[in-house]
Chain A
Amino acid sequence: MSDERGQSDANPPSNDGQRFDRLPETAADRKVPGRPTREEVLEWWDERFGVDRSVLEPYTFLEKGAGKVWIYRGEATDPCRIEALGMTFLRTRQEHWKPTTRAVSRFGRHASRNVIELEPAEAARFVAGEDQPIDRWDGDWGYLIAAHELAGGREPIGVGLYLHGELRSRVPKGSRTDVGQLGREE
């Protein structure tokens, strides 16, 4: 697979959106301009959500698609042209990085910052994909982890964008759910 590695010094290699490339460890290892580094990813989760680096340490991070970072815990040749490796995890190459709903669902329970706890009715609206005013939040604006209480513990639901007193649901269309009677009768 050496033919797939960009080696030309004159033109830096660009991101090939059709294949998986492992993220470079640090900025010094970066060959593809704009590609996030492993170090930046670990730092971001720690900084934004308080997810300890040790939680994500066992995983490999890869880019496939522009700025789409995948998290994978297994073996694969690098680079690799297959359908999927692990799960989509993070959107970079935009002004603000955004975690995927699935990343938050899987790893959000380790978060200690920027988690907004929703009441039952709010949680039901959120998972249905609705935006809603919430005036009690006095933390950061931007992407938050929306969570609620279920069966004896706090459980992350997904990603919300909090701006100007409003929590905008970012639950993807295909994952929006009407959880029925739960607190919907306000």
Chain B
Amino acid sequence: MNPLERYLPLVDDEDAFLAACDRPLPSVVRTNPIAATPERVRRAFDEEGIDYEPVDWHDGLFRLPGGSPGTNWPYVHGWIHGQEEVSTLPGLALDAQPGDRVLDACAAPGSKTTQIAADMDDRGTLVANDNNLGRLSALRHNAERLGVTNVAVTNQDARNLSLRPFPFDAFDRALVDVPCSCEGTCRKNPDVLDEWTLDHVEAIAGVGKGILTRAVQATRPGGVVVFSTCTFAPEENEAVLQHVLESEPCELATFDLPLRTEPGITEWEGETFDDAMRRAHRIYPHHNDTGGFFCAKLRVTDGRTDGGTADVRDSDGGTAVDAGTERRKEVTAE
């Protein structure tokens, strides 16, 4: 059976959902602001006669109907990078700032890493970790091609991540884009549906719990952890969040994304999840003509149970920003 049929009860229009999952996705590139502006990329595309379409919700993204984004001058110069539209969402949610200390726990091949580096204006410390050495070489190639200088690349199991190579003991922000069953990428790679098994979903959900737990532990109180997957499976999404909400000092934050999303779910196959799960975002292919995706934003609390109900709405706390500004001076000191 097509595993996507599991999720028909969750979507508003079953036929549109299945039909969208069956259509291929266009090539999409993201502008690398370390190297060029979207305007200059457009001008270079025009000069080279490359067809492109802007993406209405993000001025740095272009769809390339002709495909082959890798054989043109903007690509050679690191002005653009192939990255699916929905893949830019975790970076937007993370909202990393210049001078921050940021962890990307499952970083390879580095599309999101390099996006975060650009958001940081290539200043601060971005630890890009992955457990797969082969994939790390792809990450390094991409980071160098895009001119990123603030990335420290580590090869660890993110479930036991050590900060020993760094002169600090907590991150300000962490991206946890965990390995998953990748159902949401079926428009690019239909094989994922043929290879799908429930056993794999359950096993990989366990890995996700371990990685997210460690990332929350490695992030300072007040810091932000963004959790994302490219799967629809609640076992890998809401159930993983539920686990960390129950075991670590953190809360789900409300945040906006610039395209149509649906709230996270609170019930699945007899299991119920915290109501706050509605603050997470589910992205279905038929709503924005994209891949499928899941994204949640956690705020790390100080672990004290003082009985107060923290306001975890979207704003970044003022004290956190001040602390970051102070530290930025240290970062640039030679």
Q: Identify the A interface with B (CB < 8 A).
A: 38, 57-60, 71-77, 80-88, 102, 105-106, 127, 150-153, 155, 157, 174-175, 177-180, 182
Contacts and interface: CB of A to CB of B under 8 A. Distances in A.
Contact of B145 (A60, A77, A82, A175): A175
Contact of B165 (A71, A77, A175): A77
Contacts of A153: 40
A16 B136 CA distance: 22
A151 B40 contact: yes
Interface stretch (B5-13, B123-131, B182-190, B191-199): B123-131
- Main SS class of interface, B: mixed
B47 A75 contact: no
Given A60-B334, A83-B140, A151-B47, A76 B76 contact: no
Contacts of A106: 34-35, 78, 147, 149
Contact of B167 (A38, A75, A87, A150): A75
Given A74-B126, A151-B44, 18 more contacts: A38-B334, A58-B332, A72-B149, A73-B149, A76-B165, A76-B166, A76-B167, A82-B155, A82-B165, A84-B140, A86-B151, A102-B147, A106-B147, A151-B43, A174-B141, A177-B76, A179-B73, A180-B72
A83 B155 CA distance: 7
B153 interface: yes
Interface of B: 34-36, 40-41, 43-44, 47-48, 70-78, 101, 122-126, 133, 136, 140-141, 143-145, 147-155, 164-168, 331-332, 334
Nearest to A59: B149
B310 to A, nearest CB: 29
A163 B114 CA distance: 37
Contacts of A177: 70-71, 75-76
A150 B147 contact: no
Contact of A150 (B34, B77, B136): B77
Contacts, number: 117
B103 to A, nearest CB: 12
Contacts of A174: 141
B122 A73 contact: yes
Nearest to A123: B73
A174 to B, nearest CB: 7
Contact of A75 (B74, B101, B145): B101
Contacts of B48: 182
Contacts of B151: 74, 84, 86
A115 B237 CA distance: 52
Contacts of B77: 105, 150, 155, 157
B73 to A, nearest CB: 6
Contact of A87 (B136, B149, B154): B149
Contacts of A127: 76
A150 B153 contact: no
Contacts of A77: 164-167
Nearest to B334: A60
B151 to A, nearest CB: 7
Given A102-B144, A179-B71, A83 B136 contact: yes
Kindly list the 4 A-B residue pairs having the minimum CB-CB distance in the complex, ordered from nearest.
Answer: A74-B125, A106-B147, A84-B153, A151-B44
Contacts of B47: 150-151
21 contacts: A38-B334, A57-B334, A73-B122, A73-B149, A74-B331, A76-B166, A82-B153, A82-B154, A83-B133, A84-B140, A84-B153, A86-B150, A102-B145, A106-B34, A151-B36, A151-B41, A151-B44, A151-B74, A174-B141, A177-B71, A179-B71
B12 to A, nearest CB: 43
A72 B167 contact: no
A44 B141 CA distance: 26
Nearest to B136: A83
A75 B171 CA distance: 12
A179 B141 contact: no
Nearest to A101: B144
A162 B233 CA distance: 57
Contact of B152 (A71, A84, A182): A84
A78 to B, nearest CB: 9
Nearest to B50: A180
